[in-house]
Structure 1
């Protein structure tokens, strides 16, 4: 007797998770019971010749069997891996979309479209001398070329959505950029809800990038606090003020800050109100910060501005500061500028906030940031007039495409572009050469093989290697 109240369930195939006969042992989870059951199973195998050898499953073996028996397609297998790894709500939704989507059917439809076009071209090669075709070789190439151009457009949109899906899967990289003592570290601590970065009145306490991972509104984010950016003031240098000198360590910190901003998916530029030598309070627009932020805006980076220390000024000055930012960062949308006060957030009692003129506005800022994340990860749809774009669910499903899918899609696009280059000869060169149908057909074969590797079906040359890589990512017994 190993467990007095165990449960044994038998599921006959093929309507099981693997498509095979399945026997499940449900026992209590105590380590001693589990160890005793695992020790007893090999003894059952040795005493009964009908059972055969019983062994531990290889990593991903049950999932591989489900794939072989057509219970799952390869895109669903990868989505299952995402389900097991999901830690945020958006990651969970992405994985569910992948397991229920028709990605594999869409890829197979495109592959069969290419196989059919390739078959037409190869028939032209093999039987053009003794068979009559309804279309001339040039007409056939033109017809196939139009289909391929349409498919290239669909594949490109699919690939772009795969990039957006990767943001949900791997996390959205965010860089906090600003001048020393603007409040970047304070804002980081407010967002993560703990003291992740050192906060001090002394400027320049952050030298290297401080990165924190967190769940923000269901989105996994990688938030990086960077060293402050500043430009040395010539008048201060002339007086020998040591604080005006930018040393080698600070220069390296600034270089890393700019690099992190360039590599991030979104950048939060932190500005602040500061007292002047005349006793006034003005919006501090450091030349180095503004020039870096302006360059990011021109490069169409997702830039959001947080104007900190709003508790130091009136509402009128807050409104004026927004106009100053818009003038300094041409092309930035007004809805991407938020006024906040980290100091008020630190002194406000915990609990639901009702942001108004006298509160920190941190909650409003975070809601705005989450809205930007939604825009950043929403599916792109092709031109509504494009063939194959009528069903919008196709493009929502394409967010579930993985990095592996994207790379293969881009390879397929390159093959199809090479096909276009081969068959569409400029009028000025038509007398010098004609399309090589054999080479053109090979380009279609290469594109079809790329799609076959995505689904794990068809005649893709390295499909078995692809399957091995995918299934090895699963834990033992899944």
Structure 2
């Protein structure tokens, strides 16, 4: 029975090959019949009037135009690569290589002299005396069309001359410069890769850090596309059986009732929902690598937020002053920190009108201006949007206290750090006191804040931006780390790894993009709706199998949009499942 193989693709991560509609009678192809009605007459599939194979997409010309473009980076270089795709590749080769018009052996590099095709004097109009020409005949090419690659000398004048020469070729086909992404688009249209792989290719081209590159490489594999297509195929089979039961239960004998069919599908749907949830969760980790990890520096005025930012990025990115409230707006700086793209946000110091530490200050200094209030508001908003909060406190003089110093902190900063997805607590200016006195201060500090923050889960670290500034940080291999800045960077990288790492067997899920996550959420919602309908049977109510089948269609449609199969109408595919078990028109 077909149901016994139902969702085999989901469980074993393989495709379930679709069988095709084998009609008993031939007639002209009518418009698609809405699902849920009696068909009466069996029709041939309307797509190309031929059998459709699920695993093979025919090469379809993307257009009659032949396109060309410089594929390597513009500017002076040792070699420049020009790509050409389309029906006019042979004519372009013959026009540029006048002395050896015969194409080189397919996929073999050949040295050729390139000439201006508009000139009749081959001796005076040489464009490049030693170019490498590679011929790629369809269909096994990046675009699925005939392709030609020219590896030419990378001087700007040579590149311009060759590109102009291509545009001067006389051909029966239109030859034009390619639009942005057009080579990739033709490859997608000709079934060379799915939409998920196209997104991964875009990520790979724009990757700036090592972790972005790794995530893009994971997404470029065909694993995700096969996984989603396997799920879609499984849903298609389930829906096909349900449609058969809806339309032909009176004419044909079925071993199952609607209730039994729903029950046999429900368990596999639950497994698919769990798998989708795993993909949705992994998408956040991959998205952190792609867009970068957002980090906010929070703390009271003069805690050293700007100094710490400058130490982390290695330059004077933010103004440092002894005057409180120097930073009024959010200052953002991007940094590649050991392979991770990070965006650090230096924010205004958090304080209130009645701050307890402001009691000894002059009254006018305790008043927060409207500009500073706006800066504090923006700091709180930025903290709520961040993936990681660095909460700063500082060692400050406190005459009359037990140690003569205290750790000054802001209660609201502590609360924001506790509520953040990830956080780290940093105590600055530890150079002001001895290590022993600092330990005693830390004990008092922890006793004050531990009721509001769990330091077993949130790391803490003592640093000195002053020491780091006076003694430039050296590599840890030397055993020196002035100010503990290198140790802070190492701690941050450990947090980044915990935020983005996946088990080795799930590394491919880093390729799940935000667009894919949204479509997965849509598919999951439809499958949950199916499960709700199926659960009605256990509550003494009769499930509506027509509505249940519609939920499966919605889920399959969402999965199809991930891989870009929305151009393939599934009506014919559903009909193939319906008719494969019997001939309705006999």
Confirm or deny a common fold (TM above 0.5): yes
The structure 2 residue matched to 1:327, chosen from 450, 455, 469, is 450
Q: Tell me the equivalent position of 2:551.
A: 443
After superposition, residues 21-420 of structure 1 pair within 5 angstroms as 21-44=146-169, 46=170, 48-49=171-172, 52-231=173-352, 232-233=354-355, 241-278=363-400, 280-286=403-409, 289-297=410-418, 299=419, 301-323=421-443, 324-325=445-446, 327-333=450-456, 336-349=459-472, 351-353=474-476, 359-379=482-502, 393=505, 395-420=506-531
Deviation at 1:146, TM superposition (A): 1.9
Q: Give the 3 Å change call, closer, same or farther, for CA 206–175 of structure 1 in structure 2.
A: same
Aligned length: 440
TM-score, length of structure 1 as denominator length: 0.86
- Distance in 2 (alpha carbons) for counterparts of 1:145 and 1:2: 67
- Distance in 2 (alpha carbons) for counterparts of 1:236 and 1:273: 15
Q: Tell me the equivalent position of 1:5.
A: 130
Deviation at 1:217, TM superposition (A): 1.2
- Distance in 2 (alpha carbons) for counterparts of 1:336 and 1:403: 30
- Distance in 2 (alpha carbons) for counterparts of 1:33 and 1:291: 63
- Distance in 1 (alpha carbons) for counterparts of 2:482 and 2:507: 38
Q: Give the 3 Å change call, closer, same or farther, for CA 422–182 of structure 1 in structure 2.
A: same
> 1:452 and 2:560 equivalent?
yes
Secondary structure of the corresponding residue to residue 252 of structure 2: coil
- Distance in 1 (alpha carbons) for counterparts of 2:358 and 2:386: 33
Cα offsets for 1:163-202 (capped at 9, x unmatched): 1111100011000000100000000000000000001111
Cα offsets for 1:254-311 (capped at 9, x unmatched): 111111111100000011111013374434343xx323423542x3520111111111
TM-score, length of structure 2 as denominator length: 0.70
- Distance in 2 (alpha carbons) for counterparts of 1:356 and 1:119: 68
- Residues 227 and 257 in structure 1, CA contact (< 8 A), matched pair in contact too: yes
- Distance in 1 (alpha carbons) for counterparts of 2:155 and 2:198: 31
Q: Give the 3 Å change call, closer, same or farther, for CA 96–358 of structure 1 in structure 2.
A: closer
- Distance in 1 (alpha carbons) for counterparts of 2:515 and 2:361: 58
- Residues 143 and 184 in structure 2, CA contact (< 8 A), matched pair in contact too: yes
From the CA coordinates, give the structure whose radius of gyration is larger: 2
Secondary structure of the corresponding residue to residue 186 of structure 2: helix
- Distance in 2 (alpha carbons) for counterparts of 1:290 and 1:233: 10
- Residues 290 and 328 in structure 1, CA contact (< 8 A), matched pair in contact too: no
Cα offsets for 1:65-114 (capped at 9, x unmatched): 22233332222211111111000000011111111351101111111121
Q: Structure 2: which 5+ residue stretches go unaligned? A: 1-125, 571-586
Secondary structure of the corresponding residue to residue 345 of structure 1: helix
Secondary structure of the corresponding residue to residue 3 of structure 1: strand
| C-alpha RMSD of the superposition | 2.5
Q: Give the 3 Å change call, closer, same or farther, for CA 148–214 of structure 1 in structure 2.
A: same
- Distance in 1 (alpha carbons) for counterparts of 2:321 and 2:488: 23
- Residues 281 and 312 in structure 1, CA contact (< 8 A), matched pair in contact too: no
Which structure dedicates a bigger proportion of its chain to helix? 1
- Distance in 1 (alpha carbons) for counterparts of 2:464 and 2:159: 55
Cα offsets for 1:354-395 (capped at 9, x unmatched): 69798311111110100100111123x7xxxxxxxxxx62x3
- Residues 207 and 253 in structure 1, CA contact (< 8 A), matched pair in contact too: yes
Higher RCO (C-alpha 8 Å, min separation 6):
1
- Distance in 2 (alpha carbons) for counterparts of 1:345 and 1:194: 13
